Amino acid sequence: MPSPSDHTHIALGDLTFDVTISGPADGAPVVLLHGFPESAASWLPVSALLNESGLRTYAPNQRGYSPGARPDGVDSYRIDHLVADVIGLLDALGLDTAHLVGHDWGAAVAWIVAARHSDRIRTLTTVSVPHPAAFGWALREDADQKERSSYIRLLRMEGKAEHVLLRDDALALRAMFGGVVAPALVDEHVALLGQPGALNAALNWYRAMTSDFAATPAVTVPTTYVWSTGDTALGRAGAERCGEFVDAPYEFVVLDGATHWIPEQRPDALAEAILTRTGTAPD
């Protein structure tokens, strides 16, 4: 097993994932799934706090983000593959079970992992994106969420989206962070997505997305959902309905004034929510 505070490569079939591992070797395992247009580096502020509390964290650069796990074609990024990657990483790391945390797209994957593989997930903490059934309902029924999600149309346009986001030294990509994420972290995210084929692969997550997400069953593991009032992408309607799709102890944490970029902007509050859910919060 890798030593504490290590960057390692995990092979799953033909793909190799870059994983940042930190914290005490005997700490309870927490898997951290990043969103778009981020990278595993988005978890650095949160990981440090979790490690201080005795947890061991595993933050992979997911499919398309790791240079060795960047297959061609939209079909390679369908949800079944994204879910299988997480279970494969648990297997490769020798983890029978783990606490699971996800933000943005990582949250969408985490919800479905927990719904399909409850025997492998001790607790679930999702950030920004509600349960896929709640989000699907909001996309159909809530005018506010429809407007907030209109940007997805551009991201699904192959070629055009890549050009718009990367031109002028990735000006539009950088602007997505709204000036609230530390420049060094933004630079790390942008450098990764500027690699050949990386942004195309990351956008294929959107292009592979189907309405099947809304059919995700309720999760049955203890769950915390963290949402922020300043999130321009995810509205209140879906957030408030999220708890209807959790058949287990559930907490809805609202961060007033925070933007979509909770892991980087409010790491203290997010770490506290994770520690409370995992039962490792200090007295």
Check if the beta carbon of residue 226 is closer than 8 Å to that of residue 253. yes
Q: Which of 238, 270, 281 is nearest to 42 (CA)?
A: 270
Tokens of 270: 């997010």
Pick the catalytic residue from 103, 131, 189, 260. 260
DSSP bridge partners of 103: 127
Q: Which of 258, 265, 260 is nearest to 151 (CA)?
A: 260
DSSP per residue over the chain, as a string?
Answer: -PPSSEEEEEEETTEEEEEEEES-TTSPEEEEE--TT--GGGGHHHHHHHHHTT-EEEEE--TTTSTTS--SSGGGGSHHHHHHHHHHHHHHTT-S-EEEEEETHHHHHHHHHHHH-GGGEEEEEEESS--HHHHHHHHHH-HHHHHHTTTHHHHTSTTHHHHHHHHHHHHHHHHTTTT-S-HHHHHHHHHHHTSTTHHHHHHHHHHT--GGGGGPPPB-S-EEEEEETT-SSS-HHHHHHGGGGB-S-EEEEEETT--S-HHHH-HHHHHHHHHHHHT----
In this structure, what is the dihedral angle of CA atoms 77, 66, 30, 47, given to the nearest 10 degrees?
A: -130
| Annotated catalytic residue 104 | yes
| Annotated catalytic residue 14 | no
| Annotated catalytic residue 151 | no
Pick the catalytic residue from 58, 65, 77, 206. 206
Pick the catalytic residue from 104, 131, 142, 189. 104
Catalytic residues: 104, 206, 260
